[in-house]
Amino acid sequence: MRELVTMWRDTRMIMLVAVVAAVYAALLIPFAGLVLVPGITAVRPGNVIPVIFGLMFGPAAAWGSAIGNLINDIFAGTFGPGSLFGFIGNFFFGMLGYKLWGNLGPLSSGVEPDFRENAGRQLVEFVAVAVAASAACAAIIAWGLEVLGLFPFSVLGTLIFLNNTLATVVLGPPLLYLTYPRIKRMGLLYTDLLHDEDLPDTGTGQAQTAALGLLTIAIAWVVVGIAISMGVQDVPFAADQGATFGEGGATVQIALGAIAFLIFLGLTSISGERLSELID
Amino acid sequence: MSSSPSLYVDRDTFLHRLNARSKMGLLLGVFVAAYAFGDPLWVFVPLAASFVALVAVGGWPNFKRLSFIVVALFLVGFAVWPAFTDPGGDVLLSTPLGSITEREVLFALGRSQRIAAFIVGGLLFVTTTSNEEIVAGMRSIGIPYAFCFAVGTALRLFPTFLGSANTVRQAQAARGHEVGGRNPITLLRSYVPLLIPVFMTAIRNVQTQAMALEARGFDTRGERSFYNRQPFGTADWLVVVLGLAVAAASVWLRLQGYGTV
């Protein structure tokens, strides 16, 4: 986890944060395609950025995605308390890519994400990473807006998860195929920019446990959160939000989210990265 | 898309002259007041106050530009929330699909007004605070300089990339590339030829910009000085006290049982 702090010492990583943020914000507005819910969300090709840039620029993409989403809020007029959760959600959206790649045990392809060799296995790994990152982002934002009492978890959780996953899974592989080798030749991969001592010194077993834990918790959080919100199978707290936390959302939803988020932070703090070992 | 995507309106009003930190304090008061209450009558107070202030500082064009988003979020919230709360009070509408009670309507209206209050409050802030003031405000509340620098640089680069994204889109369209289709997957795939040039144009300059910064002695760890440092005067302190007082009073009233549905 220390790379998320030590990267701020490197000028090129700082510039990458700014560039990722600016590109992310710039692509969210003009390339908003098919509108799903007016004013709330559309099929946005820009959503592919956090995961693919996360795989190339590591921690810079995590910070860049978070800042890019904040800038989008400022320029799109949706800046407010929800922007804090948008910031955190997009931070994890950008961070999980490099944390999970190579650390997913049987799901991992064992090669760098250039879609040149073992393309089929890379696709499987990429989909797993995309789903986990999208689920984490969706769960954090949906939970945050539930805490603020703005939208029920099931509304935004479902929309953000599907929207992020669709854009990332469809656009990610071709974009990585076309851009990864060029950026590698430029020497701008995070593994080229960060010093060895800046990268997390984590054993393979611990890194895999953390990565699989992050994958599981992200998916479980979004699925259980939506189920509770929708009242699936008569979960007692279900759709009825009679028991609310202050004027926020359902107490159980908020408690579940708080526990999941703490586990998420714990797993992140013990997580590692394996891309530096996979790159030739 | 206009050439300037910024929502900042350059005027010389009382709110414009305030320090970004004091505006954040005032905003905190508006947000807490909108959050504390559920009764639409009570939530209407911070919403109306923010809206009046927004119009007074010249933010009406911004509101018109974003009114579609505000209205859409309001309506979606209003349509969704009745399904997530207990019925109560008189039945206002009865259909074969179900009925809507007074409590459900009030609850949904309160939540929708809260959404609108948050958006209008945020819009008031960005209408009266320039990008430079936002970054300086972040630095002055103790956020590390490197982070503030990245935000400031991103805010400056963003319009450039926005322009280049639009240029690439038009250039590809001129070559016969069609973006579209109702199928989301087909639609998304059609964006690939647009995204590559935008990515590579942006990334190509990173090395050069980093070298230029280092050649000028860029160091994120040293103490920084700012050319345009805003003073934090008496008016700022009064506004911060007002914001905190509004927040504290809202919480106190809520704990006394006021403003609930």
CB contact under 8 A, B35 and A9: no
Measured between CB atoms, which of A67, A167, A187 is closest to B188?
A167
Across the interface, whether the CB atoms of B118 and A183 are under 8 A apart is answered: no
Which residue in chain A is spatially nearest to B73 when comparing CA positions? A39
A135 vs B131 pLDDT, higher one = A135
CA distances from A26 to A44, B158, B198 (A): 12, 6, 10
> Chain A residue closest to B189 (CA)?
A171
Greatest CA separation for chain B: 73
Mean pLDDT of A146-175: 87
Q: Is A38 exposed, middle or buried (0-12, 13-18, 19+ CB in 10 A)?
A: middle
Distance CA A250, CA A155 (A): 14
- Using DSSP's 3-state secondary structure scheme, residue A37 falls into strand
Interface contact flag, B84 A229, Cβ < 8 Å: yes
Q: Which residues of B touch A83 (CB under 8 A)?
A: 122
B188 near A CB under 8 A:
yes
Residue of A13, A27, A53, A154 to mutate when probing chain B, most B C-beta within 10 A: A27
What is the structure's pLDDT at A246? 53
Using an 8 Å Cβ cutoff, are A60 and A190 in contact?
Answer: yes
Judge whether residue A244 has pLDDT over 70. no
Enumerate residues 220 to 249 of chain A having a beta carbon within 8 A of any beta carbon in chain B: 229, 239-242, 246-248
Contact A27 B218 (CB under 8 A): no
Tens of pLDDT along A173-207? 999 999 999 999 988 899 988 888 888 888 888 88
Q: Do B126 and A77 touch (CB under 8 A)?
A: yes
Retrieve residue B208's tokens.
């050069």
CB of B164 within 8 Å of any CB in chain A? yes
> Half-sphere exposure of residue A153, counting CA atoms within 13 Å on the CB side?
32
Mean pLDDT of A40-52: 82
Asked if A11 is an interface residue toward chain B (Cβ–Cβ < 8 A), one would say yes
Please judge whether A171 and B195 are an interchain contact, meaning their C-beta atoms are less than 8 angstroms apart.
Answer: yes
B212 touching chain A per CB within 8 A: no
Closest in A67, A81, A188 to B203, CB measured:
A188
The string over B213-252, giving b where at least 16 C-beta atoms fall within 10 Å of a residue's C-beta and e elsewhere, is beeeebebeeeeeeeeebeeeeebeebbeebeebbeebee
Chain A, residues 69-128, CB within 8 A of chain B, namely 70-71, 73-83
Residue A38 has pLDDT above 70, yes or no: no
CB contacts of A178 in chain B (<8 Å) are 192, 196
Of B65, B72, B254, the CB nearest to A40: B72
* pLDDT value of position A249: 64
* A94 pLDDT above the threshold of 50: yes
Residue A236 has pLDDT above 50, yes or no: no
What residues form DSSP beta bridges with A250? Answer: A244
The pLDDT tens digits along chain B (261 residues) read 445 667 888 899 999 999 999 999 999 999 999 988 989 999 999 999 999 999 999 999 989 888 887 888 888 888 888 877 778 888 888 888 778 888 889 988 998 898 889 889 988 998 999 888 888 888 888 888 889 889 888 888 888 887 887 788 788 888 887 776 667 777 777 878 888 888 888 888 888 888 888 888 887 776 677 776 778 889 999 999 999 999 999 999 999 988 888
Phi, psi of A42 (to 5 degrees): -135, 165
pLDDT band at A169 (very low <50, low <70, confident <90, very high): very high
Picking from A69, A73, A75, A171 by the largest number of B CB atoms within 10 A of its own CB, the best residue to mutate is A75
Residue A237's pLDDT is: 41
Q: Are B93 and B99 in contact (CB under 8 A)?
A: yes
* Identity of the residue in B5, B86, B214 whose CB atom sits nearest the CB atom of A75: B5
- A12/B206 Cβ within 8 A: yes
Please indicate whether, in this complex, the C-beta atoms of A247 and B254 are within 8 angstroms of each other.
Answer: yes
Query: Alpha-carbon distance B105 to B108, whole Å?
Result: 5
CB contact under 8 A, A171 and B86: no
- Give dist(CA B68, CA A32) in Å, integer: 15
Q: What is the pTM of this model?
A: 0.86
Shortest CA distance from B88: residue in chain A = A242
